[in-house]
Amino acid sequence: MKVFHPPKDAIEAAVLKLKKDGVVHPNASFNFEAKSDLRREVTYRDYDLQIRLSNSPNEESIIDTAREMLVSLNLISKDANYSIKAFESFRSEIKEKFTGSWTSITPVMERLLYMLTAVKKPMRMVELGSFWGNTLAWFSGPCIGSHREYTADRIYGVDIDVKMTELAKKNFAKLSNSESVELIGEDAAKALSNIEGPIDFLYLEAKDDNCVNGYLQFLQQAFDKLPSGAWVIAHDSTHHDHKDELKSYLEWVRNKNNFSESISFDIDQFGMELSIK
């Protein structure tokens, strides 16, 4: 059998394109000497590796380790935890009852979001960019549904897309104990001016072609309503597509004058930043 491989310069051009597209790390190199089919070095920031991390048989232990990190930073007590059984039941319920389109929330991120709320137990939560309610469900999971672990005061989901907000309403109507969820179909800036504080959990994902720097703008607008110790989450914080638009946001939340701590959860190809006021 004969095999034709494209010439070296063609392969190098393809590798360059992979780097440009953020699929492999800028330092990765094609190993022309490699035996068999092992032809490139894998680094942590290799997109293909991250995709596999996002849907991992080790999902539970990844999230346990993330929880232990929060304990070690004194952000939660060592007994704060989530119920694995309640999460599994909630996940089945959401997969069965919710309808919507693709989003960038991966399985490991679903569990991380659920765990974060379970260990923090916020009372007033706000999501900006709630779409059809997918992320809102994952982080509000511990306080809604038939296996809820605690009761929150209010959970707001805001999205400029009125149709998607209607779909989110239909989705949450299928869950028990979801009376605390309020879905608002309007611009985040307008909705934020009407939502009363304190907001002890703010989830940011309002973005599209007309709203590229919304994360920082909305965070600064909400800042005075966030009490000391409030948690702010920004999704897609490590994805190459959002690198430029999130640069100033990440600088701001990592500045100790604004937040006491900021942690990048580099657990899948999208990532999220948790900042503690």
Binding site for ligand SAM (CB under 6 A): 103, 105, 128-131, 134-135, 158-161, 164, 187-188, 205-208, 211, 214
CB of 235 to ligand SAM, least distance (A): 7
Tokens describing residue 89: 């039941």
Tokens describing residue 96: 């069965």
Does residue 166 sit in helix, strand or coil?
helix
CA pair distance 6, 131, nearest whole angstrom: 44
CB of 19 to ligand SAM, least distance (A): 25
Residue among 212, 150, 213 at smallest CA distance from 177: 150
Q: By C-beta, is 76 or 192 nearer to ligand SAM?
A: 192
CB of 97 to ligand SAM, least distance (A): 15
CA pair distance 217, 24, nearest whole angstrom: 31
Q: By C-beta, is 131 or 259 nearer to ligand SAM?
A: 131
Q: By C-beta, is 130 or 140 nearer to ligand SAM?
A: 130
Q: By C-beta, is 45 or 239 nearer to ligand SAM?
A: 239
Tokens describing residue 145: 């549904």
CA pair distance 39, 12, nearest whole angstrom: 12
CB of 132 to ligand SAM, least distance (A): 7
